[in-house]
Amino acid sequence: MKDFSRTKTIFSLIGIFIYKGSGYTNQTMKKIYLLFKPHLLVLLCCLGLNSCWKLRGHYGGPKSFEPVERLVRPTDVALPTGYKIEAIAQGLTYPTALTFDDNGDIYVTEAGYSYGEVWTQPRLLRLETGGKTTIVATGEENGPWSGLTFFRDAFYVSEGGTKQSGRILKITRDGEVTPLVQNLPSSGDHFTTGPVISPDGYLYFGQGTATNSGVVGPDNYQFGWLKRNPDFHDIPCQDITLTGQNFESDNPLTPDTKDKTVTGPFSKFGTPATAGQVIKGQLPCSGAIMRLPVAGGNLELVAWGFRNPFGMAFGPGNTLFVTDNGYDTRGSRPIYGSGDYLWAIKPGTWYGWPDYSDGNPLNTSDYETGKQDPKFILAKHPNKPPKPAATLGVHSSANGLDFSTNTSFGHVGEAFIAEFGDQAPNVGRIYGPVGYKVVRVNPTNGVIQDFAVNKGRVNGPASMQKHGGLERPIAVQFDPNGEALYVVDFGIMPITEEGESPRKGTGVVWKITREVNR
């Protein structure tokens, strides 16, 4: 189901211009039209065949979670000269993260939940030689388990909390699961993420926002959680004052399809806000990086004003870097053209959500949509948001990251980032698939280079290319020596007209090594 509305609009406007601008009579215009009619058809045909100029729509097909056969063929992945890639595990269901224990053994989390509203059992698996797996621990139906790290003989897992609430779990080698942090506001669009542990023994984790841009709306009903949890909304980390802007939308919680409701920012669905209204800050909160001693202790706020701070790693100078998924063009307050970001974290800083993107205010024409121009919803901003270390593709879903530290692999000091890939058209229209690859980023100048991409005339997931390359990279992790980069590939997840269709048993773990010195 391709969308050619833009193409039609272009031709209509070109026609109108020729007609209006020429000053010809109707009779003359008719002659011109007949003269150029064949050319217009040729042009339309070219546009129809040309992927560069058409807006990409749904993949098509019914929504299904059933496993499909996934072709895995490393030669379909292009890498810089001197590097090679191999698949070391296949058949995983929604894998999300990878870590190593102090013996160098490899462990992987399976999420237990995916967009599309499908729950399976979250699992911590040890990868054995030959691609087999051994179950270390299992979780409750409260996924997704979105992140994993190992520290001093224990695993630490971020649990998304779709059914209850977000948690950070400590898991022993024999599979005993103990919550380290509970009741995180993780029942919305975005989940509890991370964790990563600093050299001084603090566990840092992220908490994504409930909504796209601060307002609960029908898009959250489509996600599924508004129906399950109609009182849920975003929580600020510090006291905020609202401008009083409200948003009218359909009310999917009532059977009347014509029913409308009005919702304010940081409020539950159907609850309007007032100008000057103060929303009290809390901890834990939405869109934040928080930390606590890994041995246990009080929760602390590190930084806030993020949207979906998914991946995190300590980079050069022991600076914490975080990937952040930018706004979508959806919901009651859609935002156009917001990239994904790599942030260098300065403690105590507000990074701009829900009124800034890329350090720029949203109340400009750059971010406007046909539906509603974004205006500030906060009357005062805690600080001027900083600029990101790098700006990645709009809707690329920049997720897991890690830094190269070994000259034998190369690109020391650069961040390697897994781009999960777009969820268009549900997040906004695009001209071509975005993401579905691994990029490397120089955090000092923001230059982004492709590192592992699928071969083909255009970018896109392997299932679209009909070959055996990358599908949806979600995490990257260097081994303890920094000599190999492991890529966790979530698996096949097309966007159908009924929503996300994540296929079980299609996850893969890839390993990239450098064969020769350049």
Partner 1 sequence: MKNTYSLTGFSLFFGVAVILLAAGCGSARRSEPLRGPLTLNEQLQRGQIVFMNNCHKCHPGGEAGVGPSINNVPLTKGILKFRVRSKAFLLGLGRMPSFKKHEISRQELNDLVRYIKVLKKHKEDLPTATL
Q: Does 212 bind partner 1 (CB under 8 A)?
A: no
Q: CA-CA distances (angstroms) from residue 319 to 93, 195, 198, 301?
A: 33, 15, 10, 16
Compute the radius of gyration of the chain from its Cα atoms.
24
455 scored as a contact of partner 1 (CB under 8 A): yes
For residues 483 and 178, give the distance between their C-alpha atoms in angstroms, rounded to a whole number. 33
Site membership for partner 1, residue 391 (CB under 8 A): yes
**Closest CB 307 distance from partner 1, rounded Å:** 15
Closest CB 455 distance from partner 1, rounded Å:
7
Binding flag, residue 466, partner 1 (CB under 8 A): no
Q: Choose between 9 and 408: whose C-beta lies nearer to partner 1.
A: 9
Residues whose CB is less than 8 angstroms from the CB of residue 400 and which lie 6 or more positions away in sequence, other chains included? 97, 147, 310, 311, 323, 417, 418, 473, 474, 475, 476, 477, 488
CA dihedral 391, 393, 399, 401 (to 10 degrees): -50
- Three-class SS of residue 290? strand
User: CB 11 → partner 1: shortest distance, Å?
Assistant: 10
Nearer to partner 1 by C-beta: 244 or 432? 432
Nearer to partner 1, 1 or 46 (CB): 46
Q: Which two tokens stand for residue 323?
A: 């990937």
Choose the binding region for partner 1 from 46-54, 62-70, 161-169, 200-208 (rule: CB under 8 A): 46-54
Q: Does 448 contact partner 1 by CB under 8 A?
A: yes
**Encoding tokens for residue 22?**
């020429």
Per CB under 8 A, contacts with partner 1 among 49-78 are 49-53, 78
Binding status of residue 379 toward partner 1 by CB under 8 A: no
The DSSP bridge partners found for residue 344 are 321
State phi, psi for 487 to the nearest 5 degrees: -120, 120
Interface segment toward partner 1; rule CB under 8 A; list 60-68, 114-122, 443-451, 482-490: 443-451
Rule CB under 8 A: say whether 18 interacts with partner 1: yes
Among 346, 449, 481, 498, binds partner 1 (CB under 8 A): 449
Q: Nearer Cβ to partner 1, position 234 or 489?
A: 489
Q: Quick one: 136 or 392, whose CB is closer to partner 1?
A: 392
Our finding on whether 517 is near partner 1 (CB under 8 A) is: no
Distance CA 239, CA 208 (A): 18
| Dihedral angle computed from the Cα positions of residues 311, 316, 318 and 322, in that order, rounded to the nearest 10 degrees | -20
Integer angstrom CA distances of residue 21 from 32, 37, 314: 13, 18, 59
Complex with partner 1: residue 295 or 458, whichever CB lies closer = 458
134 touching partner 1, by CB under 8 A: no
Looking at residue 36, the DSSP 8-state letter turns out to be H
d(C-alpha 53, C-alpha 9), whole Å: 13
Q: Choose the binding region for partner 1 from 104-112, 285-293, 376-384, 451-459 (rule: CB under 8 A).
A: 451-459
H-state helical runs in 1-74 = 5-22, 26-49
Contact 441, 344 (CB under 8 A): no
CB of 327 to partner 1, least distance (A): 12
Among 292, 394, 492, 495, binds partner 1 (CB under 8 A): 394
Q: Which residues contact 44 (CB under 8 A, 6 or more apart)?
A: 7, 11
- 127 near partner 1 (CB under 8 A): no
Please tell me whether residue 13 binds partner 1 under the rule CB under 8 A: yes
**Binding-site member from 111, 285, 320, 390 for partner 1 (CB under 8 A):** 390
Output the six-digit token pair for 92: 């995983």
Contact (Cβ atoms closer than 8 angstroms) between residue 123 and residue 144: no
504 alpha carbon, distance to own chain's centre: 19
Going by the DSSP 8-state scheme, the letter that residue 248 receives in this structure is: E
Work out whether 365 is an interface residue with partner 1 (CB under 8 A): yes
Does position 132 interact with partner 1 (CB under 8 A)? The reply is no
Binding mask 419-438 for partner 1 (x = CB under 8 A): ---------xxxxx-x----
Closer residue to partner 1 in complex, CB, 197/335: 335
Size of the site for partner 1 (CB under 8 A): 57
10 near partner 1, rule: CB under 8 A: yes
Which member of 339, 461, 473, 502 binds partner 1 (CB under 8 A)? 339
Indicate the residue among 57 and 131 with the shorter CB distance to partner 1. 57
Q: How far is the CB of 269 from partner 1 (least distance, A)?
A: 28
* 197 contacts partner 1 (rule: CB under 8 A): no
What is the distance between the alpha carbons of residues 317 and 489, in angstroms, rounded to a whole number? 29
Of the two residues 366 and 479, which places its CB atom closer to partner 1 in the complex?
Answer: 366
Outline where DSSP puts E strands in 132-273. 133-138, 145-151, 154-159, 166-172, 177-184, 192-197, 202-207, 240-241, 247-250, 260-263
Bridge partners for 108 per DSSP: 98, 125
Q: Would you say 458 and 495 are in contact if contact means Cβ atoms under 8 Å apart?
A: no
Site string for partner 1, 309-338 (x = CB under 8 A): ---------------------------xx-
DSSP state of 218: H
Q: What are phi and psi of 135, to 5 degrees?
A: -75, 125
Separation of alpha carbons 275 and 239, rounded Å: 15
- Binding to partner 1 by residue 450, rule CB under 8 A? yes
Under rule CB under 8 A, residue 80 binds partner 1: yes
Q: Which positions touch partner 1 (CB under 8 A)?
A: 9-10, 13-14, 17-18, 21-24, 36, 39, 43, 46-47, 49-53, 78-81, 336-337, 339-340, 358, 365-366, 390-396, 428-432, 434, 445-453, 455, 457-459
